[in-house]
Amino acid sequence: MSFEKKLPSWKSIPIGGAILKPGNFAERPTGDWRVFRPIINQDKCLRCLICWAICPEPAIYIIDKPYRTSSGREWKFTLEIDYNYCKGCGLCVEECPVKAIDFVEEVK
């Protein structure tokens, strides 16, 4: 996804300052706040949805994408983190019941 870096000028703002697109905050990414990156280990993940339910952004999504673990277990869906928005709070890392989320320092 690409993001508009500049704020809109007053000339392009609708009369009355109305915001015409609900949830347009999604145009401003917050991924660069992150110091640590949570990475879901898809093999370990039990698809319990706890991380999805507690994420304050939301930056964790349930994707209808099948996944086959290395031990042959078939899942109908996958949990994915959107790093455009994940601020790296670590709530999911802490709450995952099977410790399936690694927390790795961001390095440039």
Partner 1 sequence: MSKPTLYKSIFELPREEYLSPGHGLCAGCLVGTIVRVLLKVAGPNTIVVTPTGCLEVSTTPFPYTAWKVPWIHVAFENAAAVASGVEAAVKALQRKGLVDPSKKINVVAIGGDGGTVDIGFQALSGMLERGHRVMYVLYDNEAYMNTGIQRSGATPFKAWTTTTPVGKVLKGKLQPKKPIAEIVAAHKIPYVATANPAYIIDMANKFRKGLSVDGPSFIHVIQPCTTGWRFDPRYGIKIARLATETAMWINWELENNEVFRVTVPVPKRKHVKHYIRAQGRFNHLTDQDIEEIQRFIDKEVERINKMVGKEVIGPVVE
104 strand-pairing partners: 37
| Helix H or strand E encompassing 78 | strand 78-81
Name the residue nearer to partner 1 (CB basis): 26 or 98: 26
As measured in angstroms, the least distance from the Cβ of 24 to partner 1 is 6
CA–CA distances in Å: residue 7 to residues 3, 11, 52, 57? 11, 11, 31, 22
Q: Contact positions toward partner 1, by CB under 8 A? A: 7-8, 13, 17, 19, 22-30, 33-34, 48-50, 52-59, 62, 82, 84-85, 87-91, 93-95
Q: Where on the chain is the footprint of ligand SF4 (CB under 6 A)?
A: 40, 45-51, 79, 96, 98, 100-101
